[in-house]
Amino acid sequence: MENSPELNGKYLGEITGDFAKVSNTLKEGAYQIKIRKISDYPIFPISKSDLQIGQKLLGKEEVGTDWNFNISYLDEFLQRKLVDAEKLDAFKEAYKDPDEFCCLFVVDKDFVNFIFIPYPED
């Protein structure tokens, strides 16, 4: 589950630009999910339109981004069969440290994939 090469040209600049604006909020959200023992695997679904995955954390209109940022976690992805239960171990193995990397689930017209982006250094 590496970052898709398809991502580089079309989305990377756009996503990382928006990510830089909201990374502190996402990092705090991931921390809250972990500290409250909800999950060790926070996931942030993002889309340019409204998504029915997780709960909206930051709307693009309110933060001036191209993407809406939702907040969720692995259990919801298993329940919705967005992560196959048979591939759960592979997902956990590929998942990067949530204190250092943000797990985004990018949903756009022709692209749906997990990506991991490092949080900026403080």
Q: What is the rounded average pLDDT of the residues 94-109?
A: 93
Q: What is the rounded average pLDDT of the residues 22-38?
A: 96
- pTM, entire model: 0.89
Q: Which of 7, 16, 11, 8 is nearest to 117 (CA)?
A: 16
% of the chain surpassing 90 pLDDT: 76
Residue 8: phi and psi, rounded to 5, are -50, -55
Confidence band for 3, pLDDT divided at 50, 70 and 90? very low
Task: Give how far the C-alpha of residue 77 lies from the chain's centroid of Cα atoms, to the nearest Å.
Answer: 12
Q: Are 102 and 117 in contact (CB under 8 A)?
A: yes
